[in-house]
Amino acid sequence: MSLELKGITKTFGSFTANDSIDLKVETGQIHAILGENGAGKSTLMNIVYGLLKADSGEILIDGKKVEISEPSDALNVGIGMVHQHFMLIPVFTVAENIMLGHEKSNKFRVLDLDQARAAIRTISEDFGLQVDPDAIVETLPVGIQQKVEIIKALIYEAKVLILDEPTAVLTPQETDELLNTMRDLKSKGTSIIFITHKLREVRAVADQITIIRRGKVIGAVSPSTSEAELASMMVGRAVDLAPAKYQHETGGPILEVKNLTVRDALGTSIVKGVNFHVNSGEVLAVAGVQGNGQSELARALINLEEHIEGSILLDGKEIRGSSIKQSLHAGIAFIPESRELDGVIGSFSIAENLILDLHGQAPYSKGLNLSAKVVHSEAEKRVTEFDIRTQSIMDSVSTLSGGNKQKVVIARELSRPIKVLVASQPTRGLDVGSIEFVHERILAQRDAGRGVILFSTELDEVMALADRIAVMYRGEILDIVGSNVTREELGLLMAGITSAKAGAK
Amino acid sequence: PSAQAAKIKLCLALDTGGVDDRSFNQGAWEGAKSSPVANAEYLAAASSADFAPNIKAFVDKKCELIIGVGFAIAGEIVKSAKANPKIAYAIVDNDGGDCDANFVCKPVKNVKGLTFQTDEASFLAGYLSAGMTKTGKVATYGGAPYPSVTIFMDGYVRGVDYYNKVKGKKVSVLGWNTTTKTGSFVGNFTDQNAALTLSKGFEQQGADIILPVGGNLGAPYAAANEKTKKALTIWVDSDGYGLLPAGKSTLLTTVVKEIGTSIKLVASDVANKKFTGALYVGTLKNKGISLAPYHDLSSRVPGQLKLEVRKIRDQIIAGTLKI
Amino acid sequence: MKKVISRIAQSIKLPGLSFLMAFTITGIIIALSDEKVMNKIGSPIEFLKSAGASVGNAYLALFQGSIYDNRLIKGNIFEGFYPFFETIVTATPLILTGLSVALAFKSGLFNIGAQGQFIFGAIGASYVGFRFDLPVGIHIIAAATAGMFLAAIWGGIVGFLKARTGAHEVILTIMMNYIAGYFILWLLKTKTFLRPGRIDPIAPEVLDSAKLPLLAGENFRIHAGIFIALAAALFVWWLLTKTTIGYKFRAVGANSQAARTAGISVPFVITATMMICGALAGLGGAVHVLGSEHSLNADVAGSLGFDAITVALLGRAQPLGTVFAALLFGALHTGGRMMQSNTGVPLDIVVVTQGLIVLFIAAPVFVRYIFRLKKLNTSAALTSKGWNG
Amino acid sequence: MKKIRSNVQKRRLQGVIIISLLSSLSFLYFGLLKPGKDVTTFGFVLNNEWVIIKEWIIASQTGARIFSAISLVASALAIFAYKKERTIVFPVAIASFGILMSFLTWIASGKFIPFTGLLQGGLLLSIPLIFGSMSGLVCERSGVINIAIEGQLLASAFVSGVVASVTQQAWWGLLAAPFAGAAISYLLATFAIKFSVDQVILGFVINVLVIGLTDFLYKKLLIPHQNTWNSPPTFEVIPIPILSKIPVLGPIFFTQSIVVYLMFAIVAGVTFALYKTKWGLRTRAVGEHPTAADTVGIDVNKLRFRNVMIAGFIAGVGGAFYTVGSVGAFGKEMTAGAGFIALAALIFGKWSPIGALFAALLFGFATNLQSTLSIIGVAIPSEFMLMVPYIATIIAVTGLVGRVRAPAADGIPYSRGGSH
Ligand SMILES: Nc1ncnc2c1ncn2[C@@H]1O[C@H](COP(=O)(O)OP(=O)(O)OP(=O)(O)O)[C@@H](O)[C@H]1O
Ligand SMILES: Nc1ncnc2c1ncn2[C@@H]1O[C@H](COP(=O)(O)OP(=O)(O)OP(=O)(O)O)[C@@H](O)[C@H]1O
Ligand SMILES: [Mg+2]
Ligand SMILES: [Mg+2]
């Protein structure tokens, strides 16, 4: 089935998110769409899926014009979509999530979960997507949740499948699996629209690439185009894809973690007695497949988790058991995994967000009083310094694009005296331009003599930034290796297979 | 009196219960309406904060007699009376005294207190109940533990005690204890469902006569009783026989508090220029309170008991029996 | 200049239309419930005429009862504004309870407990007011402080329990309102509180030194409480926008997870907010007793704590908005009294009018829809944030 | 190093400690230190059920000891269960019952406790609360906050009273009431869903409007013409053959009016429908993550609208309970805040039908317990007795329930592209 878009235009108030976009996806083609954060990719896809209504333009399927004003219209004509933000009900089981919208009941009007389970099993087997139909979605790692999303789309037997940044939260292995699934689908005649910020993936599977910038189609290129060229087309300027990492002297241990155990609310240990340290002037990357305890470990470093045992020494001083505020003030900068939930307050202005953990300190406040003047002038400085793209520092953060939200978090965390930077998935969902920026900032911290702990599931990112790499597997640190490790070795470690190669401890 | 001149303007400042509370607000309003010498109007209050402005509104409207219905309004009535010595005032359930900082009170010339010795009548009701009960248990409960409520309950319990003393019987009263001042209450004056459940609780304890003191609260049980015939009801304030939509056949009597009569009395005093601030106390003697007829149940009340009740009433009136 | 006028016209258009609709609907109810009007149903013209007269009189009375009444002038034009001062007297405690609810909303809490907090404020103020003999200014301050203190504790209990156990503040405050209501009933029977010589539940009047000064002489009830209320509004505004504590409150209210991640203590914010809310509602009770009631009775809170919720929501949980909303409620209430006494329209109708005005003001989309105004945006500002805070 | 416990274990530990302490205290106080001197009589027979024991007379001290001992044993079992990291619900329930009974035998020394009546009365007091919280549940599970329960109950009580009175048929009243509840719901649904009005404001406003209008009509219509407009007949009790004869359970569950049976049916129906049917799955989806439901073709606002209407019907039956099920006349503001207690029960019960049912029952039982105690003449100031159900709720909520989580999208109007 082929899908063609003609002259799609969509405005939000005075802002044009899609400006007369033309696009054609041939039958059995994988069509990648590239573009910066906020370029209008998701908007366009939501229009195709019936979640948004275009101001003008038309959608053609196999050359015939179709009206899509509801998601159900899209489902009926054979369009399926995996959304950028998960469209799963966290408290439902996998089976419930998958049957939602096309439920089958038995003759007593009771939901027939068995049928859903069976259907899931079939699809799982066909595409190698293993999930437990009875698991509650919110307890699953995001990687598995993503699989559930894909099964959800496949169960409708979609002829055109839209994947909006499906790999943002996946590990390299999972990404490879997904790419294989995509190829598989393609071979069965499914057309796929694939949105991602990762150029490597695009070049690996796409048959055709369309680049969108500021709501307009900039051009269509073939997958043989170089990464650098793709990046510069997206952003409109040359992008440095591999940050320059200068060798330099590292200092002594600045943060030491001993025997650290983190438990969840049910008492199960998620992080199991880990030991590591980071030196000043060094980037220690903690790699691992999502769901192996990295998130909890990162949070535990500033005492965000409730049940922590063991010891965290910052510059020789025990900080385990102190309050979150004390941990931050002791000199840890924290970039949380989810900027929307933990990093920023959407309804607050940029200026207000920039003082979220600083508002009690001079010069931002004096006694009880917040000094609005200082807050604003400092905010102006940060906005310039960190290149936060906004009309005004008084705009609420919810109006910013993902990359700019992340810049707000980084600007806030790096503009106070710190000893250690803990960054959890700092580039998730960001476009190449923003990633470049974030990487530069992280390395700048290292070069300025601070310790950096980078939690990342991106192998490329880990390889590019780390001085040493700790690999987590099932709550334990399996090994700590030097940056000269190969992708393959790292991949094996992340899968829990210890190689003979010992790391530099 | 001579041929009626212009009617006087009689204004009622009501308490928060509203004009349709089947209790003292309603009794007062009905009395006022039926006064031949007055044109009556009223203002309802949403809370105690409305009392002062309501009275002030009456002063501005040139009311000639302003009556506060309910003890809660006493303070504002006295205040207004002192500021407007030419207007006649009355206050229900309070003596209308003006008290200084040391709580020494003296009467105000243009305020007439309308109070009621309600317990005299409920004493009779208690005696009657004790004589009528087959189970040896009777009961009473209130809407909320206000003194204007518990005074009924006090008299009732004493009436039963007196019967026990005289007859050497052991009739007990559930729901109120005159020494500890504790007992059963619904907690408000609107939750009739809760009142019904409470009444059933008394029934399960074996009480076969119940005196609810709480306006509308007693109505559902009175009605339900008509089918089950498990207990008799005694009503308060205005004769329940004419008031209750259902339950007449099990209505034993009513402890009547003639607020309406007292209001008509003040109104005619004002109209005839005989108004004074002298305290009015409704008693059995001046018929300000009374025990209503037994109506449908008259035949079931033994003649002897009727006689005794009448005798006690006379003793109270004569002052020979202190309750 | 033209621009300014059109801007003002724009900004009062929606509220204006909301009022118009509310008054139209109540007008219909008033006319239909007037027997004099219904008697004329046979002849349409007469019917409409008398309906118009009936409604017109009612609304005239509403105005005369709440703003200005020239019939009250005996020598001084000032006297005509008596009703307006009454409106302010009614609005004063409402401003304070409204602020209490509004502040809680800002921290993501739903304070249904202003009623109980108000009661404790009234108790504290009354006790200090009648029990101690203090110099004029100090007495007022001591009494008000005592009220605020008790109420802050009462509110703080809710905050503490929520912070400690996670129990929902809506349940806690509903239950604590009932408890406060029964508590005051009991208290007023104790030797300490029962006015000597009285058996009905009323406390002694506060001493003159504890009474808030009257602002316009003996003949008007308006007292200095309004300044306290306005100062409290200013305080809340200052707290929320200018201080670090208010910043923490708003941060927790807007996204408690992010606030926590940034080191703000959520339990502290919950407890502190509820204490300040308690103090505000308690100040309302204190001002009510020291300003206009002078003595404590069981019904002292009326429904002020519940009206406060509507007032706060109508004022969009903003201090200034709350002040205006309280004044509006005060005006409707005092005006309603005149409507009741002059035209026999019961107080219940005023309640209905209040409800309708709030409904339409809260539903701009609906008003636009009815009047076919352009810009039918579907998103509406939410003041309350549901149960998850 | 301190041992770290999970939150569940923490709560269990808290529960175990409280229950053990109370059991020991009750044994000490009621059984040893301050024993009742007289006998306590428990009555079990209410109507004409089969009699196994009619009355049970026991020396107060002995009884208190027996029941305290039971609760001590149950506490020990609770400690055991805690150690084994198993649920402590059952031992705690038994222990609580033991403590309660021990308290009753102690306090009613020389008095009579109509045991069956105590439970039956508690149930009757909680009927409107249960209907109310089911109404709230159906709304809130689909994402619409319902503070208008009070208004729904009151309006439907009014309408059912008037209709039953005019027709002199309780059935007509019962049939009309749900439509009154639904009419209120229509207002709620239209403004909340179609015009995106803040649902909390809306709920309060609707309550104000209903109170105002019913007060007004009561005064203008029902008082002057009470025989025509306000004398509804009430439903007779329908004893269920055989079942109604079972001691204790019979009078409580099987000797009730149709409205009470409807309550059981509705709770069972809502529970089944919510967790087992397509409607329930969609309802819960729409309340948790409406956008997700939308993407699979569910019309979010239509479903919400329909559910709010259903909620109105349910609350309507609860309103009818007041007039044709129990009281037999409409009274001004007769719901007396039941809507708010129902709301509290819903939250207390964690937005689950069974949870809300038990929360409402707890409240009703606590209310009737305090009535019973006041009737037998407990010398505690009445005002404090009246606080009992509210204090009991606070203790239960803080001690046993703790943090609750509302449906994630509760109270947030849904519009496409509005929020994400
Ligand atoms: N409902 C809305 N109202 C107003 N503006 C919106 C809305 N939805 C999206 N936008 C704006 O439209 C622009 C395009 O957003 P869109 O989500 O399509 O970007 P995107 O290309 O998918 O970005 P990303 O790579 O970050 O996912 C952004 O500037 C966004 O802020
Ligand atoms: N958890 C808490 N418990 C009790 N009081 C607290 C708590 N957190 C803060 N406070 C009090 O609130 C007031 C202001 O809070 P806080 O000290 O957090 O402000 P701050 O200016 O941000 O602090 P800092 O300058 O230390 O960062 C202080 O008086 C403090 O004592
Ligand atoms: Mg996107
Ligand atoms: Mg500080």
Name the residue range of residue D341's domain.
128-397
- Considering only CB atoms, B188 lies closest to which of D121, D231, D336, namely D336
Question: Which long-range CB contacts under 8 A does A40-45 form with residues at least 24 apart?
Answer: A40/A10, A40/A212, A40/A214, A40/A215, A41/A164, A41/A195, A41/A212, A42/A83, A42/A84, A42/A164, A42/A195, A43/A10, A43/A17, A43/A18, A44/A5, A44/A8, A44/A10, A44/A18, A44/A212, A45/A81, A45/A162, A45/A164, A45/A193, A45/A195
pLDDT class for D419, splitting at 50, 70, 90?
very low
pLDDT class for D397, splitting at 50, 70, 90?
confident
pLDDT at A323 (0 to 100): 94
Ligand 2 atom 4 nearest Cα: C268
Whether the CB of A431 is below 8 Å from some CB of chain D: the reply is: no
Closest-CA residue of chain C to B83: C219
- Considering only CB atoms, C313 lies closest to which of D200, D393, D410, namely D200
Say which DSSP state C297 is in.
Answer: B
State in Å: Cα A370 to ligand 4 middle: 11
Q: Are residues D57 and D158 in the same domain?
A: no
Q: What is the ipTM of this complex?
A: 0.90
**Residue D27 pLDDT exceeds 90:** yes
A38 lines ligand 1 (CB under 6 A): yes
The last residue of a domain, from among D53, D86, D115: D115
Which residues have CB under 6 Å of ligand 2?
A: A 359-361, 365; C 244-245, 265, 268
Any idea which ligand is nearest the CA of A46?
Answer: 1
Q: Are residues D174 and D319 in the same domain?
A: yes
Architecture of domain A253-331+418-500: 3-Layer(aba) Sandwich (3.40)
pLDDT class for B3, splitting at 50, 70, 90?
very low
Q: For A454-501, how does the pLDDT look when each residue is reduced to its tens digit (9 = 90+)?
A: 999 888 889 889 999 999 988 999 999 998 888 888 888 888 887 644
Residue D140 resides in a domain: yes
pLDDT at D6 (0 to 100): 64
**Residue C253 pLDDT exceeds 90:** yes
User: Do the domains A3-235 and A253-331+418-500 sit in the same CATH topology, yes or no?
Assistant: yes
Nearest one of D7, D410, D395 to C167, comparing CA atoms: D395
Residue A279 C-alpha, separation from nearest chain C C-alpha, in angstroms: 24
State in Å: Cα A318 to ligand 4 middle: 22
Say how many domains are in chain D.
Answer: 2
Residues from chain D that touch B197, judged by Cβ atoms under 8 A, are 121, 124-125, 368, 371
Q: For B255-300, how does the pLDDT look when each residue is reduced to its tens digit (9 = 90+)?
A: 999 999 999 999 999 999 999 989 999 999 999 999 999 999 999 9
**Residue C77 pLDDT exceeds 80:** yes
The last residue of a domain, from among D86, D115, D144: D115
Residue C133 C-alpha, separation from nearest chain D C-alpha, in angstroms: 31
Q: What's the rounded mean pLDDT across residues A194-209?
A: 92
Contact between D6 and A111 using a beta-carbon 8 Å cutoff = no
**Residue D3 pLDDT exceeds 70:** no
Ligand 1 atom 18 nearest Cα: A40
Pull the structure tokens for residue D398.
């803080």
| HEC-encoded secondary structure of chain D | CCCCCCHHHHHHHHHHHHHHHHHHHHHHHHHHHCCCCCEEEEECCCCCCCCCCCEEEEEHHHHHHHHHHHHHHHHHHHHHHHHCCCCCHHHHHHHHHHHHHHHHHHHCCCCEEEHHHHHHHHHHHHHHHHHHHHHHHHHHHCCCCCCCHHHHHHHHHHHHHHHHHHHCCHHHHHHHHHHHHHHHHHHHHHHHHHCCCCHHHHHHHHHHHHHHHHHHHHHHHHCCCHHHHCCCCCCCEEECCCHHHCCCHHHHHCEEEHHHHHHHHHHHHHHHHHHHCHHHHHHHHHHHCHHHHHHCCCCHHHHHHHHHHHHHHHHHHHHHHHHHHHHCCCCCCCCCCHHHHHHHHHHHCCCCHHHHHHHHHHHHHHHHHHHHHHHCCCCCCHHHHHHHHHHHHHHHHHHHHCCCCCCCCCCCCCCCCCCC
- Considering only CB atoms, D198 lies closest to which of C161, C179, C382, namely C382
Whether the CB of C179 is below 8 Å from some CB of chain B: the reply is: no
CATH number of A3-235: 3.40.50.300
- Considering only CB atoms, C362 lies closest to which of D145, D197, D406, namely D197
Q: Are residues D272 and D339 in the same domain?
A: yes
Residue D405 resides in a domain: no
Query: Could you state, in order of their start, the residue ranges of all structural domains in chain A?
Result: 3-235, 253-331+418-500, 344-416
Q: Are residues D237 and D309 in the same domain?
A: yes
Residue D23 C-alpha, separation from nearest chain C C-alpha, in angstroms: 23
Mean per-residue pLDDT over chain A, rounded: 90
Mutate to test the interface with D, among C101, C112, C123, C171 (most CBs of D within 10 A): C171
Q: What's the rounded mean pLDDT across residues A137-164?
A: 87
pLDDT at A211 (0 to 100): 94
Q: What's the rounded mean pLDDT across residues A216-235?
A: 89
Pull the structure tokens for residue C358.
């709030």
State in Å: Cα A160 to ligand 3 middle: 18
pLDDT at A137 (0 to 100): 93
Residue D413 resides in a domain: no
The last residue of a domain, from among D92, D115, D138: D115
pLDDT class for C1, splitting at 50, 70, 90?
low
State in Å: Cα A366 to ligand 4 middle: 9
Q: For C164-187, how does the pLDDT look when each residue is reduced to its tens digit (9 = 90+)?
A: 888 899 989 999 999 999 999 999
Closest-CA residue of chain B to C294: B75
Residues from chain C that touch B44, judged by Cβ atoms under 8 A, are 340, 346-347
Mutate to test the interface with C, among D201, D222, D415 (most CBs of C within 10 A): D201
Q: Are residues D202 and D276 in the same domain?
A: yes
- The model's pTM is 0.92
Residue D418 resides in a domain: no
pLDDT at C382 (0 to 100): 67
Q: Name the 3-class secondary structure at A318.
A: strand
Residue D203 C-alpha, separation from nearest chain C C-alpha, in angstroms: 10
Contact between B220 and D327 using a beta-carbon 8 Å cutoff = yes
Query: Could you state, in order of their start, the residue ranges of all structural domains in chain C?
Result: 1-65+345-379, 93-331
Say which DSSP state A136 is in.
Answer: B
pLDDT at A147 (0 to 100): 87
Burial of D230 (0-12, 13-18, 19+ CB in 10 A): buried
Q: For A370-424, how does the pLDDT look when each residue is reduced to its tens digit (9 = 90+)?
A: 999 999 999 999 999 998 988 899 999 988 888 899 999 999 999 889 999 999 9
Residue D286 resides in a domain: yes
pLDDT class for C378, splitting at 50, 70, 90?
very low
Query: Which is more confident, D43 or A240?
Result: D43
